[in-house]
Structure 1
Amino acid sequence: MKPVVKNEIIDALKTVGLTRGDAVMVHTSLGQIGYVCGGAQTVIEALIEVVGQEGTIMMPTQSWKNLDPDTGVHWDVDEQYWNIIRENWPAYDKKITPTNTMGATAEKFRQWPGALRSDHPARSVAAWGKHASYLTENHDLCDIFGEESPVGKLYKLDGKVLLIGVDYDKNTSIHLADVRADYKSKHNTIEHSAVMEDGKRIWKSYETLFVDGEDFVDIGAAFEEKNTVKKAELGGTVIRCMSQRTLVDFAVKWIEENRE
Structure 2
Amino acid sequence: MGATGTAAGPTVTSAELVDGLRMVGLGRGSEVLVHSSLSSFGYVDGGAEAVCAALTEVCGTVVMPAGTWDLTGLPAPPGMVRPHNAFWNAETWPDFDERLSKATSFRIDLPVDRWLGKIPETFRQISSPFRTEHPLFSYQAAGPAAERILAAQRLDWPLGPIEALEGDVLLLGVTHTSNTTIHLAEQYLGRSRFYRYAKTADGRWLELPNIPGESHEFDAIEPVLRSATKEVRIGKARVRRIPKQAVLSATRKLVEADPAALLCTDDPTCRCAAALEQRLVSLGQRR
What TM-score, normalized by structure 2, do the two folds share?
0.76
The amino acid that maps onto 1:231 is: E
Match of 2:169? 161
**Whole-angstrom CA distance in 2 between matches of 1:245 and 1:94:** 30
State whether residues 181 and 253 of structure 1, in contact with CA within 8 Å, keep that contact through their aligned partners in structure 2. no
Does 1:69 pair with 2:72? no
Aligned-pair CA distance for 1:223:
2.1
* Aligned ranges 1:94-133 → 2 under 5 Å: 94-133=108-147
**Whole-angstrom CA distance in 1 between matches of 2:192 and 2:18:** 42
Aligned-pair CA distance for 1:206:
2.7
Seen in structure 2, the aligned counterparts of structure 1 residues 37 and 246 have a Cα distance that, compared at 3 Å, is same
Match of 1:252? 252
Aligned-pair CA distance for 1:20:
1.5
Match of 2:19? 11
Aligned-pair CA distance for 1:220:
2.6
**Whole-angstrom CA distance in 1 between matches of 2:38 and 2:192:** 35
Aligned-pair CA distance for 1:165:
0.5
Does 1:43 pair with 2:48? no
Match of 2:220? 218
Aligned-pair CA distance for 1:119:
1.0
**Whole-angstrom CA distance in 1 between matches of 2:113 and 2:195:** 22
> In percent, how many aligned pairs have the same letter?
28
* Secondary structure class of the residue paired with 2:109: coil
Does 1:26 pair with 2:31? no
* Aligned ranges 1:130-141 → 2 under 5 Å: 130-137=144-151, 139-141=153-155
List per-residue Cα deviations over 1:41-90 (Å, max 9, x = no partner): 00011111112xxx10001111122222369999xxxxx95542223311
**Whole-angstrom CA distance in 1 between matches of 2:171 and 2:127:** 23
Does 1:150 pair with 2:161? yes
Seen in structure 2, the aligned counterparts of structure 1 residues 191 and 258 have a Cα distance that, compared at 3 Å, is same
* Aligned ranges 1:173-192 → 2 under 5 Å: 173-181=181-189, 186=191, 188-192=193-197
Aligned-pair CA distance for 1:235:
0.8
Aligned-pair CA distance for 1:221:
3.4
Aligned-pair CA distance for 1:240:
0.5
List per-residue Cα deviations over 1:91-111 (Å, max 9, x = no partner): 111223432311111001112
Aligned-pair CA distance for 1:137:
2.5
State whether residues 177 and 215 of structure 2, in contact with CA within 8 Å, keep that contact through their aligned partners in structure 1. yes
What TM-score, normalized by structure 1, do the two folds share?
0.83
Seen in structure 2, the aligned counterparts of structure 1 residues 97 and 4 have a Cα distance that, compared at 3 Å, is closer
In the alignment, structure 2 segments of 5+ residues that lack a partner are 1-8, 77-84, 89-93, 261-287
State whether residues 109 and 115 of structure 1, in contact with CA within 8 Å, keep that contact through their aligned partners in structure 2. no
**Whole-angstrom CA distance in 1 between matches of 2:181 and 2:30:** 16
* Secondary structure class of the residue paired with 2:126: coil
In the alignment, structure 1 segments of 5+ residues that lack a partner are 75-79
State whether residues 64 and 73 of structure 1, in contact with CA within 8 Å, keep that contact through their aligned partners in structure 2. no
**Whole-angstrom CA distance in 1 between matches of 2:128 and 2:233:** 30
Residue-pair matches, total: 238
State whether residues 196 and 211 of structure 2, in contact with CA within 8 Å, keep that contact through their aligned partners in structure 1. no
List per-residue Cα deviations over 1:121-146 (Å, max 9, x = no partner): 1111110010111122252222122x
Match of 1:77? none
The amino acid that maps onto 2:42 is: G
**Whole-angstrom CA distance in 2 between matches of 1:163 and 1:33:** 12
State whether residues 224 and 250 of structure 2, in contact with CA within 8 Å, keep that contact through their aligned partners in structure 1. no
* Secondary structure class of the residue paired with 2:254: helix
**Whole-angstrom CA distance in 1 between matches of 2:152 and 2:162:** 13
**Whole-angstrom CA distance in 2 between matches of 1:202 and 1:117:** 22
Match of 2:208? 206
List per-residue Cα deviations over 1:15-48 (Å, max 9, x = no partner): 1111122110111100010100000100011111
Match of 2:198? 193
